[in-house]
Amino acid sequence: MIVILHGWSDDSRSFKKIGNFLRGRGLEGIADLYLGDYVSMDDDVTYDDIIHAMEKAWQDKQLPKAPRSVDVVVHSTGGLVIRDWMTRFYSPDNNPIRRLLFLAPANFGSPLAHKGNAMLGRVTKGFTSKKLFQTGRHILHGLELGSEYSWQLAFRDLFAGPEWYGEGKVLATVLVGNHGYTGIAAVANEHGTDGTVRVSTANLNAEYMRWDFASDPQHPSHEAWPSMGQVAFARLNDENHSTVAMKDGGFRNPARTGELIIRGLQVSDAAFVQHCRELETLAEQERAVARRLRSYDERKFRSGYQNTVIHVLDDLGHDVGDYFIELFAKNASGRPDNLLTAKIQRQVLTTVHAYGPNNAYRSLLIDTDALNSLLVEKERDLYISLTAFPQLPKNGNVGYKTVEYDDVGSIHIRPGEIPLLIKPDRTLLIDIVIKRYNDAVFSFKPLPA
């Protein structure tokens, strides 16, 4: 059996074509194909509502519940929905999903989500909603870059608890385009996207780091954890957010894209590791093509980018919403190299998005090609530090000491380490912990004689 789930502002009608394509290919062992439908444009609907309703609909329709008995295809927001559903109601041992094919998933958000919640989204998409000017406020908050929802979901299936993906578990494949829209829809195109989601936010092979500036501010420490399990991933330069799911006329490269979809829905446990290797080889080939294209046409938006999500908190567990991150270089004397630092800020740090409901979470889009050209190839070190507010010297009672040059140290990354920290087409989550000073808030005084 195959189940297909759509994304935000869509419905099952958009996926009849790909459903018929799968039927026409006569996939082995498929007796039924179901198209899921859920409400995504109601401002009162939450992800909790969707996944609980999905579980009830699954039971009402008597879809298979046996472990690894169903294959699922998801598009865009459907990736968040299916991951939330399976990790909330099941365990890796009794999960009914065997193969999970992600088409352009918004696993770590979309740069268009906060625009959908803005007036532009309410005027455009709001006219298509059954409730006038509603665009699914809660759903879009979860889809926003750097959202707490996508962060917490990643800790459920990638960084904490049991292992969900890989041989003998969920055989997951991610396919995402990198072309962008054409025509009037091209206004939505941004660097490193398929028109709607970033290539880097689609990939589930992520990493988590924790940088501790609190224990010893002058000598911050850092630890790293790769995501658990294994997920097959490939970028497809010629597909966009719609065509990869056979919408808007269908695949741009029918032979290649269609074959990859079939492979993702037929791969066996024994062949899965090789499947992952072959898709990674394809992804690297596509990146090489993109680098060549970029050399003569910047408008293609085809370079390699990393989605870096930063969460700043203090050693008391408070979110720190007012801060900025500094990527910089130093000269031979150990002071900041202002000229090279300006190039890093302008060319490497492409965009910064603060998550609307909680500014402690921010998504930084880092151009890995520019970073390689400016630092790695020239054997220059990268330094990362931050400044946070309120500042203790000004507040007097509570705050942080980060403004002066010697207040806090920096994370020092050598040229050979930069490609390990900052990689194209992936997401890196970083918790940064800083020290909160509050000594002046409370004191004891002896009773006068």
**pLDDT exceeds cutoff 50 at 119:** no
Average pLDDT estimate for 345-373: 95
Distance of alpha carbon 235 from the chain centroid = 14
Average pLDDT estimate for 72-94: 97
| pLDDT over 70, % of the chain | 91
Average pLDDT estimate for 150-165: 96
**pLDDT exceeds cutoff 90 at 107:** yes
Q: Where are the domains of the chain?
A: 2-204+227-300, 305-437
**Which residue in 144, 235, 229, 145 sits closest to 192, CA to CA?**
235
Most confident of 66-75, 109-118, 175-184: 66-75
Quote the CA–CA distance of 324 and 390 in Å, as a whole number. 12
Pick the CATH number of 305-437 from 1.10.10, 3.30.420, 2.60.40, 2.170.120: 2.60.40
Residue 132: band (very low, low, confident or very high) from pLDDT cuts 50, 70, 90: very low
Average pLDDT estimate for 261-282: 97
**pLDDT exceeds cutoff 60 at 300:** no
pLDDT tens-digit profile of 198-251?
Answer: 999 999 999 999 999 999 999 999 999 999 999 999 999 999 999 999 998 899
CATH of domain 2-204+227-300: 3.40.50.1820
- pLDDT at residue 403, rounded to an integer: 85
**pLDDT exceeds cutoff 70 at 117:** no
Residue 127: band (very low, low, confident or very high) from pLDDT cuts 50, 70, 90: very low
Average pLDDT estimate for 161-188: 84
H/E/C letters for each residue in 184-212?
HHHHHCCCCECCCCEHHHHCCCCEEEEEE
Average pLDDT estimate for 12-31: 82
Alpha carbons within 13 angstroms on the beta-carbon side of residue 169 total 19
**pLDDT exceeds cutoff 90 at 99:** yes
> Exposed, middle or buried: residue 447 (CB in 10 Å: 0-12, 13-18, 19+)?
exposed
Quote the CA–CA distance of 401 and 387 in Å, as a whole number. 8
| pLDDT over 90, % of the chain | 77
Phi-psi region of 312 (alpha: psi -120 to 50; beta: other; left: phi over 0): beta
**Which residue in 325, 323, 310, 324 sits closest to 430, CA to CA?**
310
- pLDDT at residue 296, rounded to an integer: 47
- pLDDT at residue 198, rounded to an integer: 94
- pLDDT at residue 148, rounded to an integer: 98
- pLDDT at residue 114, rounded to an integer: 85
Q: Which of residues 371 and 125 earns the better pLDDT score?
A: 371
pLDDT tens-digit profile of 33-52?
Answer: 899 999 988 999 999 999 99
Average pLDDT estimate for 295-322: 82
Q: Rg of the chain over CA atoms, in angstroms?
A: 23
pLDDT tens-digit profile of 378-427?
Answer: 999 999 999 999 999 888 899 999 988 778 999 999 999 999 999 999 99
**pLDDT exceeds cutoff 70 at 115:** yes
- pLDDT at residue 181, rounded to an integer: 76
- pLDDT at residue 280, rounded to an integer: 97
- pLDDT at residue 29, rounded to an integer: 58
- pLDDT at residue 7, rounded to an integer: 92
Q: Average per-residue pLDDT in the chain?
A: 90
**pLDDT exceeds cutoff 60 at 302:** no
